[in-house]
Structure 1
Amino acid sequence: MTEIDKNTRHAEKMKKIKAARDRMMATKTGEKGLIIVHTGPGKGKSSSGFGMIMRCIAHDMPVAVVQFIKGAMATGERAFLEEHFPDKVQFHVSGEGFTWETQDRERDIAKAEAGWELAKSLIRDPANRFVMLDEINIALRNDYLDIDAVVDFLLTEKPEMTHVLLTGRNAKPELIEAADLVTEMAVVKHPFRDGIKAQAGVEF
């Protein structure tokens, strides 16, 4: 087969794919605020969420972030957003660090509950088009928050066009069932296994 034949066959194949794609896209006309879950043991759950926040800012969509559990640690995302987009992003920290560092379950529960109350007020505010609940899945997994109450709120009180992203490992089945979009990050390789610590710009 000559290069001309290959190119002709490729063009014909792509034409058929485009026609099928156009037919499919013509049926996708709805819009709604999504419940989004990023979970799994792999790296990138929060990082992907902050990428979505960058998109929202570019589209002039006000956003809010509530960080659970790991809030005590300074991060590049928080520094960048607070310095460059203070009028576009509300950034709130409700955690004091990973649970093995705080070693105080009652205090962790109180912080998580305070963070959830704040999150509810931010989600209810229709001015916020995207609300990221970073690492809330850890608080839910540890039963610091009631999963049924969280799911019920998202399904019944979230404004119609507000997107809410919930990140963290081990998302509970009830949340996955309620969500519109769920992504599970898998681990293939991680430098931590080879003795490399978390590094600025990559992990935080």
Structure 2
Amino acid sequence: MARPDKVAAVEEIAQNFRGASASVVTEYRGLTMSQLTTLRRSLGDGATYRVAKNTLVKRAAEDAGVDGLEQLLVGPTAITFITGEPVDAAKALRDFAKANQGLVIKGGYMDGRALTVAEVNQLADLESREVLLSKLAGAMKGTMAKAAGLFAAPASQVARLAQALADKQAAGAEADTTEAPADAES
């Protein structure tokens, strides 16, 4: 018979899996409680870092429909459940792991599939959502400026052509007036 506290823990972890946009599995061997607290703070509000028993995580992942994490659940395991921006949390974990050798990123889960350590690091290398959106807006603004220039070009060409014709007619009229008196004298 399953103990009620373990059933509750499995259900809580399964709910975390269901509500997360991504999750990252880590090993935390050798980290102190103060280091874990620092890590949790660096993750911000969009992520929770939870230490859990591997057997409970396996059952919760199965309940939540998360496949591919079984091979990652070896040794002391903690999972970061990311509800906010995955890039920010992956960066925080990577940076913390660089500064603290006790934290080892084992892999993750996002968009219905397991992630390797390299894929988690690639996710951390991406720029934040805000930076990417501002770059997109800048590119769109540049494209719009080019389009406006292209749309205005035919009108300005017609105006220059009309001015050139007017200048040519004016020059022709001047030539006629200067030639007419010469013809009259002969």
TM-score, structure 1 as length reference:
0.23
Higher-helix-fraction structure: 2
Higher relative contact order (CA 8 A, sep 6+): 1
Query: For the pair shown, which has the larger CA radius of gyration, 1 or 2?
Result: 2
